[in-house]
Amino acid sequence: MQQKAIVFGLLAGLLFGIATPISKLLLSSLSSYTVAGLLYFGAAVVFFPYIILNYKAEFSLSLLQNNGLKLLGIIVFGGILGPLFLLAGLKSANSASVSIWLNFELVATALLGVLIFKEHLSKHALIGVLLTLLSGIMISFNEDMTGLKAGILIIFACVSWGIDNHLTSIIDGISSKATTFIKGLVGGALNITVGIILYTDTNLLQMNVLIAIVLGMVSYGISIVLYISASQIIGATRGQILFSTSPFWGIAGAALLLSETINWTTIVSFALLSVGIAFSNIQGHGHYHRHAKIGHIHLHHHIDDHHFHEHENLDEAIPHIHIHSHEPLYHDHDHFPDLHHRHEHENHRYRIYD
């Protein structure tokens, strides 16, 4: 599952990264509110058929009980504030600069994870965070100090998405597809509405609207689900390190679409980021710990130490998703801060695999 999470995280970064230069082009005829709304509306559209077929299973377990506040936070920070800050910053800065500043999302996610969301980081993971941050600093040598206001807006977007990252990594009442659908539908509708109210001359009958929706389906819808799936396996911070490849794809897209140049600092930065990704995914730590009885839904297989329920005619090694229950369990093994291992580490006898 760890290898699958790495692939999911890297692909999520690729799909999200290409959205930055294309979004810059869309802002030539649409407001930041409208583009932000259309992108997330597209994320909802791509999973609408899935929701129609699975709405009973998706919304039957603890959606209104345990996940209400998490979903509200995901919608507000991830579906409304994050994209709005991003597009507002992108409006007044070039695409490459915005792609660079998006590296701060990793720092925000890591700090929030350690301070608030009970995410333990080994020294290897911390090195991965530092190398990723260093790669962002290195590539910023290409830029000047213009666009400081835009940079502050992008930092606000990154903090918003940092909160969203952790909430989406621990939500366990509905699947990543349903979470993305809800965030995209509500966040998208609100931003589009605000855009129409503030910019009464907005023309929604143009090709750029369709492009924005399609871009949202791919770069936000599919990308977000891949990121959530990865972060639920290896934790939000490690998932974000994989996702942090997105700025480099954004820079590559800016070079192709906006004629911005790639020089040696970009190449060195990408090398630093690659090493950071490798460090961040070295095995974490293990200790004797207790799991309380729980019922939830997430991508899983049956060759780990947590999933013992049975299926007919299903290979236990095949990843699948459905609502399932866990009985109380005590054991000792290496683990990441996934859905099953977000616990305090005080008074534990634990082994560090660094």
Exposed/middle/buried for residue 182 (C-beta within 10 Å: 0-12, 13-18, 19+):
buried
pLDDT of res. 334 = 54
Is a pLDDT exceeding 80 seen at residue 306? no
Question: Which band of pLDDT confidence, cut at 50, 70 and 90, is reported for residue 308?
Answer: low
At 340, phi and psi to the nearest 5?
-95, -5
Burial (CB count <10 Å: 0-12, 13-18, 19+), residue 194: middle
Is 338 a residue whose pLDDT tops 60? no
Q: What is the pLDDT of residues 131-155, one digit of tens each?
A: 877 876 776 666 655 556 777 888 8
283 falls in which pLDDT band (50, 70, 90)? low
Report the amino acid identity of residue 157. A
What's the pTM?
0.69
The pLDDT tens digits for 185-240 are: 999 999 999 889 988 787 888 999 999 999 999 998 888 888 877 876 777 667 77
Please, which pLDDT band fits residue 352 given cuts at 50, 70 and 90?
very low
The values of phi and psi at residue 322, to 5°, are -170, 165
* Per-residue pLDDT band at 113 (split at 50, 70, 90): confident
Q: Is pLDDT of 23 > 70?
A: yes
Element (H, E) at 111: helix 104-115
Structure confidence by residue, pLDDT tens digits, 49-78: 988 988 776 766 555 566 778 888 999 998
Can you give the pLDDT at residue 132? 74
- Residue whose structure tokens are 């952790």: 166
Q: Which of 2-16, 142-156, 167-181, 239-253 has the lowest mean pLDDT?
A: 142-156
Residue 349 has pLDDT above 60, yes or no: no
Q: What is the mean pLDDT of the chain?
A: 76
